[in-house]
Amino acid sequence: MADTSDDSAREQRRSARATKRAIDKLDDRERRFSLIAAGGAVVFGVAIYFFETENKNFRLAKGQLTPQTSLILGIVCGGLLLFATYLGRRAPVGFVALFTFLMFGTSTLFLGMPFLVFACWLLYRSYKIQKDSAATIRAERSGATSGPAGPSAGTARPARPSAGGAGGRKKGPVKPEANKRYTPKRPPPPAPKPSRRERKAAEAAE
């Protein structure tokens, strides 16, 4: 019984570790998208730099990053995405993707939207994997705890006779039962002694 409990506890710990690993780690498809996002951050940074510096009519708006800053941040974000992909963790990749969206959104919102979509997709993937794993664990636990609650085969309780069935107790007033204890019989009392007159009469008769 103790071995069964230990095996069940070890199985639950392995399942919990596998669930945490599935939530934290990137899969192959997410890793490919993360590498594409890293390259896209660098390409977008370079494109913004050349477009704004070559455009003679370009005027820097309030709150907008300079072309040089956009180029540097694009390269930095690409490097951070590449490093987060190497680590294989979903949370750092999503955080860097969100930061990249905020950086490009100051210049061109259209260029930052793919990074926002990528970050939201990673968040949804984590939530979905966690939900599916929790449902699987609950199903396994309910299946382990459920089982025949009554006595097992071969040790079934004898059926009680019903009130109206054969061998059952008859309805009506209850008759007193005889005492089953053994009571020895009393010895007969001794014969009374004859009186003096009866003895004299008997002697005279002899």
Instruction: Provide the pLDDT for residue 51.
Output: 86
DSSP label at 89? Answer: B
Per-residue pLDDT of 29-70, as tens digits, reads 889 999 999 999 999 999 988 888 887 777 777 777 888 888
Instruction: Provide the pLDDT for residue 154.
Output: 46
- The pair of three-digit structure tokens given for residue 25, joined into one six-digit string: 């780690």
**21 residue type, one letter:** R
Q: What are the domain boundaries of the chain?
A: 30-142
Measured CA to CA, the distance from residue 81 to residue 40 in angstroms comes to 10
Mean pLDDT of 15-27: 71
The pLDDT confidence band at residue 126, using thresholds 50, 70 and 90, is confident
pTM above 0.85, yes or no: no
